[in-house]
Structure 1
Amino acid sequence: MSVFKKGVLLILTASVMIIFLGSCSKGVKNKSPEDVVKSLILSYQEQDTQAVKECYGVEKEDVQEDIQKEMDYNMRLFKAYQAENIEFEKSDSLGKSGESRLIYVWFTYKTEKKEKGQKCPVLSFYYVNKKDKTYYVVPAKDVTEEMGKYSRYAYEKFMNTKTYKNYQEDLKKFQEENPSYKEELDKRFGQLVKGDQ
């Protein structure tokens, strides 16, 4: 799967298998599931490692290797976007698996190169847990098989909504107007990975 599909369709380390990711420093809001998901995305955009850790609820402990890899991947991906800013279009809950709530967020960004001035749409899914009236994003390593099954069910149902269809229309338009963007994004991401090795 290309970086474009991982990043633009779903910012997930393994979106096809529906393994979902799943206070405070400046900008981190965690009083609602939607707020903490938006804070995570903005923290990646700002390359703010401490804020990302707070969104995962691990700011006061050593970050486990799996979580660190997840953070590193998304830091590189957002850097590869070369986004000037991020605008949130819509975010809502798709229900719960156990005590974990599945949240989707649709956001757009304009790249620094402003490909035809068109905003690139991104759709992301995250599990969120609540602890002591505070919400945290669930790291991918903590997503259970049961949560994965619910994710597939919720995603299939979500695909029939107007929100998803509107997102697909915007994505198709962006791809048609910027046919080389996918390859450029893959190249930038690859260079960032090589640079960190």
Structure 2
Amino acid sequence: MPAMSDFEAYRAELEKAERKVAGEIQPGARAMVVAILVFVLLVSLILPHTGGARGVDVLMGDSKALSVGIALPSRLFTWFALVFGVGFSMLALTTRRWFLAWIALAGSALSSALGLLAVWSRQTAVHGHPGPGIGLLLGWLAVILLTFHWARVVWTRTAVQLAAEEQRRAAASERQSRTLLEDLDRREGKQPPAAT
């Protein structure tokens, strides 16, 4: 009986390790690309967003940003780019957690749409207000590329993850198909009767 409990403990530990591996991402070479894009996104915040207002000015909503007529889409874009494009991307890269990569992907995708609105709002600004600056355009491009690379990382499953997932499904299916008597016999170390 003790040998069986040792085996059960070993199996539980193995299943825990498999779940941990299944919850991790393996970005490989894309990790470097994502890190470079995060750096480009940070640089875009110190470049002119529109007119004399830099991305940092837009984030803070200071007088420079207000003087050039910064609208809500521009402010939302810079905040979403900072939180999801920089923050969650770096968290996902350092921890390699699957759910953080999903959050970075979703936030970057939303930030890409907000970037489109920000550029459009600067192009259709009231006469006398400047159009989109290099910082806004560079930041928008970086967020679009981040979205693409996070999508590739999140949807790429390794062979180890797929095999572990298939093995867990087969084991769960086997456990569900056993009857109560077969389960009791198995715990006591008896061989179940042969099916006829």
Shared fold by TM > 0.5? Answer: no
Q: If each structure's helix is expressed as a fraction of its own residues, which one has the higher value?
A: 2
TM-score, reference length from structure 1: 0.26
